[in-house]
A = this chain, B = another copy of it.
Amino acid sequence: MEGKQVKEDMEARLLEGGVRPTAMRLLISKFMLQQDTAVALTDIENAFAKVERTTIYRTIKTFEEKGIVHQIDDGTGIQKYALCEKGCKCDIARDLHLHFHCRNCNQTVCLTNYKLPHINLPQGYSAEDISLVVTGICKKCGL
């Protein structure tokens, strides 16, 4: 019954975002909900051998457009994604947060409690998005 609750929550969330909650989309979004790290397309592909890569690709892109997930560029050159938090508008000051990439386990996590510091820029520059990624050794991999 807990699983059902999760499912309904996710369904509601997709609907809120204006995304039709198809089987595929529920499958993928629920998978992401279970992860405690950011996922790459390939991760999802491996988790569901049956599902077409393109479908996953387009699903994620749809999620991204509708503000259901955010993309993370952790420096590996591979795009990662994570679910946005409830009420997230990807606002620089309120929602954007630090990401940590572990060079040992190669995993990337959202540190949603660590918001971005205020950045000031030279005259004439305007900020629309900010990426702050720390690379090092994560909690699990540290001795």
Point out residues on A near B: beta carbons under 8 Å.
Answer: 73, 75, 77, 79, 98, 100, 103, 111, 113-114, 117, 119-139, 142
Instruction: Contact check, A77 vs B75: say whether CB atoms are below 8 A apart.
Output: no
Instruction: Contact check, A137 vs B132: say whether CB atoms are below 8 A apart.
Output: no
- Given A73-B73, A131-B75, A131-B131, A138:B111 Cβ within 8 A: no
Q: Which residues of B contact A131 (CB under 8 A)?
A: 75, 131-135
Separation of A70 and B124 alpha carbons in the complex (Å): 25
Instruction: Contact check, B121 vs A114: say whether CB atoms are below 8 A apart.
Output: yes
Separation of A138 and B127 alpha carbons in the complex (Å): 9
The quantity of this chain's copies bound in the complex is 2
Instruction: Contact check, B119 vs A139: say whether CB atoms are below 8 A apart.
Output: no
Instruction: Contact check, A129 vs B136: say whether CB atoms are below 8 A apart.
Output: yes
Q: Which residues of B contact A130 (CB under 8 A)?
A: 132-135
Q: Which of B120, B127, B142 touches A126 (beta carbons < 8 Å)?
A: B142
Separation of A121 and B109 alpha carbons in the complex (Å): 12
How many whole Å from A74's CB to the nearest CB in chain B? 8
Beyond the given A75-B131, A117-B119, A124-B142, could you list 17 further A-B residue pairs with CB under 8 A, ordered by the A residue number?
A: A73-B73, A73-B75, A77-B77, A100-B121, A111-B122, A117-B117, A123-B139, A125-B136, A125-B137, A125-B139, A125-B142, A126-B137, A126-B142, A128-B137, A130-B134, A131-B135, A132-B132
